[in-house]
Structure 1
């Protein structure tokens, strides 16, 4: 593909969903209170973020950090223009999400049988069968049905995942009325060639599906994978403030790509997100304070490209 072709496919606007309140916090040893989570969400809203994967309606015993999912949604329901989605593993989770008042329910399943067993204690086939029940539950509710495929680029237990396994799940989602499906890079095993392979396969195998890319920066190439997605025309990404994140049921699953780093990259490429970088840097600092530790995001430490220092405050070399 020529440079001209790549630029022609590159989107002029990208939709960013903030997953920090869910994926960012689910594996942390520090459990934030509902009030602290709201402080973080409000800082992100001040920066222009409007789409949130706000929590997960799973068993509080399995993921204690997300036990307040219903309270968090209720506290944010009155804000106009917000889009709140939440993960659900089954019908019971969907019922709770529906009762809480979310805008979208995200049904999640792993492309890996082993990871799905660890993550939700079900086979992939059982998860997909349960999603048909969730789809029937949501009929006529006005709540959007979305899908997420974990370990889409590799599994820490099984290794490589065949692209056909991802395609089969995507087709199943399409068959029950899902349009948006997130490809999750659960332990940072994605590479640019794998991104190309997955996206091209989905476009051929499940053409009605609009893909969202969800990368972790475990091996340091999360933004390189974003660049590959952009070159393929993908315009939907998920990221976590400060680079928070990780899966409690997968070894080595360190943080997501940092939202402020993603916004910086897109800004510098002339791609609109509707999100203010300065506000995102401030939100990352709020996240750092709340978590009580240094976070992996880079732009919040260095500032934007043209953030200038005071020359007089820097010593001059001698000798």
Structure 2
């Protein structure tokens, strides 16, 4: 049985932009977020609280969140944090959910956060508890859950053990991230199933990259295995600046097309999402990896390629 609904988290304003050479001005990030809210997004990664010298695209996290202060109550903005310092910065803003991160391999955790894999779990637990004590929602992502760019294969038993330890802090959800885009559907199905069983009733979210063109197939496998939520980025933009060759996220419009045609509601409007992708392509001055915003929906609608300007649709 497939679910009637699938929740999507729009990550273009954070994971989508963090690996870009072109620095997106604050007002353009806010415009991107508002485009996606207009298209139906209810949960969005909007910033990460990290060192500006390491991730220059995220240097304006506080300004972006300040520019979103008038959002409706049902919109959940997510701020990614890697350590307690970042969490304290985030808690000084109006961000509505804290996203902690730990990493499934020692080599990647050392390069990304200067600690071992299990030390990164302990830090994430502290962040979750701090956020909850301050009255904020908090969730956590296990990065490189399907493979490490430095060590190769990651033991699924280790990922399950991490998830079980994280569950003790009662995050709102635990996400499994294919940070470098190496997963295949069977791998996704197996790991999602094992983690779901281990942490029930905490829901599982899945964050996928399309580095090796398996992203959409992996998303389907995740849904079949019971993942409650999927991450995606408008246009398929994104990547990890700390992982070699970790290219873009699965594209929101491509994922919507698959889910909509399969009878699964997301709350997004595909036409408006395609229009937003066309706008984003203009802002970035290049074509984007997504397929559906180029080919269009099916059955064919009145949607035609929109003449875009740098000021928007």
Asked if Structure 1 and Structure 2 have the same fold, meaning a TM-score greater than 0.5 normalized by the shorter chain, the answer is yes
Please name the residue that 1:67 is paired with. 59
Aligned-pair CA distance for 1:146: 0.5
Q: Distance in 2 between matches of 1:279 and 1:139?
A: 35
- The residue number in structure 1 matching 2:112 is 119
Question: Displacement of 1:156 after TM fit?
Answer: 1.4
Q: How many residues align?
A: 301
Corresponding residue for residue 53 of structure 1: 45
Q: Aligned runs of 1:1-319 on 2, under 5 Å?
A: 8=1, 10-80=2-72, 81-307=74-300
Worse-superposed segment, 295-304 or 114-123: 114-123
Partner residue of 2:305?
none
How far has the Cα of 1:119 moved from its partner?
1.3
Q: Is the 8 A contact 2:192 2:226 kept in 1?
A: no
Structure with higher Rg: it is 1
Unaligned runs of 5+ in 2: 303-313
Query: Which whole-Å CA distance do the structure 2 matches of 1:285 and 1:120 have between them?
Result: 35
**Is the 2:97–2:139 contact (alpha carbons within 8 Å) kept by the matching residues of 1?**
yes
Moved more, 112-121 or 276-285: 112-121
Q: Is the 8 A contact 1:174 1:208 kept in 2?
A: no
Q: TM-score, normalised by structure 2?
A: 0.93
Taking CA–CA contacts closer than 8 Å with sequence separation of 6 or more, which of the two structures ends up with the larger relative contact order?
1
Deviation at 1:38, TM superposition (A): 1.2
The Cα of 1:308 is off from its aligned counterpart by 6.5
Work out the CA distance in 2 between the residues paired with 1:87 and 1:190: 23
SS at match of 1:108: strand
Q: Does the Cα contact within 8 Å between 2:103 and 2:120 map onto a contact in 1?
A: no
Displacement of 1:107 after TM fit? 0.8
Counterpart in the other structure of 1:317: none
Which SS does the other structure have where 1:76 is aligned? Answer: coil
> What TM-score, normalized to structure 1?
0.91
